[in-house]
Amino acid sequence: MHAPANPSTSGVIPNPFARPKTNKELYEFLWKQVLRAATYAILVAVFFIFGHILIKGAPVVFGQFRTTSSFPYVANDFLTKLPETLHVLEDKQGNKYETDPKGSDVIKAKLGDNLRSEKTISYSGGGILGPIVGTVLLVAVCIVVALFLGISSAVYLSEYAKHGRFIEIVRLAILNLSGVPSVVFGLFGLGIFVLSAPVFTDVPLDRSLLVIPLGFTKLSFQGWDACVMSGAFTLAFVILPVIITASEECLRAVPQGFRETSLALGATRWQTIWKSVLPFAMPGILTSSILGIARAAGETAPIMFTAALAFKDKLPWQNDGAWPLVENPGWMGEVVNGSSQGVASLTESVQALPYHIYTIAARIPQSEYSERAQYGSVFVFLVIVLAFATASVLLRRKLRAKYKW
């Protein structure tokens, strides 16, 4: 063993077992650095994207933020008003006035000959209350439909279906669905839910594909038109492959002994699944739903064909009380319209944040005013997705703490 050459001057004692790196170790070291660089590049990109949105979007939301003593306790116009066309007027002294269509006439009359220029920017005035409400409705209904269908399918494939070539083909088909472009799902939703879904009506439309008399009314396959239900069902089919695959894996992860013990005690197959399998698999299933929420909330192409409008001057519940799924509704419509106006809101077409962002980013001329509305919308959109994901995480943690094995 050799002593350090001169530890008193360097302050670091060399490793007496050190030796030159071999070619294999050098090769391993280089690959480690490449992998590390790739990881940090992703992190830098993520921080840059979210930081950029935070810096430009947060001031739009919080710049005028103040609380009030009355509901909804927020006085920020960006959160509480519907989108409007922004009018920007400039006088000869260079002063600019931002207003809505009604206010522009008043300002022009006040300025008179002092008016230098006027320009309008669509969807950049007012707020984004309509897109926020539409997005929340679409995602909420989508998650309910997707979780019900997805978990039902996963339980059947995992607990009831007999292993064989047919079931393997079914699983392969479900996996392949996850790779289908979202615009194809949009066309699927247009054909199935908007134009062909069943409707109760006494007077079927001419385009109805099939009419089945029921005695008291008729069941007509003429579609639900573009509405929240059509869009939510379409989004549910977009995220179903993720939920089915993940849920089936979570069900398989539950120890087989749980099932055998339950069956040995006299429980039926369904009682075993309901009481001894599903509760322990639910935390993992909710984890998959988080991924589904993020994708469903961000999809634009499917809702373009089935639910979303570029502009609407009313909220979904500010309709005329009609129940589009039941034309000439009779007793059924009276029950529905009289008892559940909120449910009738699901049959209204809505604005949605992804489509609103696409519209102000790609369909109108860019300016400082459209950019402000764009970044503010993206910021609010991320907050909504984060809220849905946080709710799922909290629910998952609660269930995981309750059911452990």
pLDDT, tens digit, for every residue of 189-239?
A: 999 999 999 888 888 888 888 899 888 888 899 888 889 999 999 999 999
The pLDDT value recorded for residue 68 is: 60
- Does 89 fall in a domain? yes
The answer to whether residues 103 and 162 belong to one domain is no
The pLDDT value recorded for residue 1 is: 46
The answer to whether residues 117 and 258 belong to one domain is no
| Measured distance CA(115)–CA(43) in Å, rounded | 49
The answer to whether residues 121 and 203 belong to one domain is no
Residue 378 vs residues 49, 61, 76, 193: alpha-carbon distances, Å: 11, 11, 16, 29
- Does 101 fall in a domain? yes
- Does 392 fall in a domain? yes
Which residues are CB-contacts of 306 (< 8 A; sequence separation ≥ 6)?
186, 189, 190, 193, 194, 226, 230, 231, 234
User: What domain count does the chain have?
Assistant: 3
Q: Cis omega (within 30 of 0) on the bond before 72?
A: yes
- Does 202 fall in a domain? yes
The answer to whether residues 219 and 92 belong to one domain is no
Residue that finishes a domain, picked among 76, 103, 125: 125
| Measured distance CA(292)–CA(297) in Å, rounded | 8
- Does 376 fall in a domain? yes
CATH number at residue 259: 1.10.3720.10
The answer to whether residues 92 and 136 belong to one domain is no
Burial class of residue 156, CB neighbours in 10 A (0-12, 13-18, 19+): middle
CA-atom Rg of the chain in angstroms: 29
Range of the domain at 43: 23-63
How does strand 83-91 pair with strand 198-201? unpaired
Residue that finishes a domain, picked among 125, 151, 177: 125
The answer to whether residues 113 and 41 belong to one domain is no
The answer to whether residues 186 and 264 belong to one domain is yes
The answer to whether residues 111 and 200 belong to one domain is no
The pLDDT value recorded for residue 273 is: 92
Phi then psi dihedrals of residue 321, to 5 deg: 85, 0
The answer to whether residues 117 and 47 belong to one domain is no
pTM (predicted TM-score): 0.81
CA dihedral 25, 29, 35, 41 (to 10 degrees): -170
Q: Of 73, 74, 79, 49, whose CA–CA distance to 61 is shortest? A: 79
223 sits in the region (left: phi over 0; alpha: psi -120 to 50; else beta) called left
How does strand 83-91 pair with strand 96-99? antiparallel
Residue that finishes a domain, picked among 125, 157, 174: 125
Report the share of the chain in percent with pLDDT over 90.
23
Which residues are CB-contacts of 253 (< 8 A; sequence separation ≥ 6)?
281, 284
Lowest-pLDDT range, 7-16, 106-115, 277-286?
7-16
The pLDDT value recorded for residue 89 is: 87
- Does 29 fall in a domain? yes
- Does 71 fall in a domain? no
The pLDDT value recorded for residue 313 is: 81
The answer to whether residues 299 and 374 belong to one domain is yes
The answer to whether residues 379 and 367 belong to one domain is yes
- Does 41 fall in a domain? yes
pLDDT band at 72 (very low <50, low <70, confident <90, very high): low
The answer to whether residues 243 and 350 belong to one domain is yes
Tokens of 35: 């992998």
Alpha-carbon torsion (255, 257, 258, 263), positive or negative: positive
| Measured distance CA(199)–CA(211) in Å, rounded | 9
| Cα 254 to the center of its chain, rounded Å | 29
The pLDDT value recorded for residue 69 is: 60
CB 202 within 8 A of CB 214: no
Mean pLDDT over each residue of the chain, to the nearest integer = 83
Helix (H) / strand (E) containing 212: strand 211-213
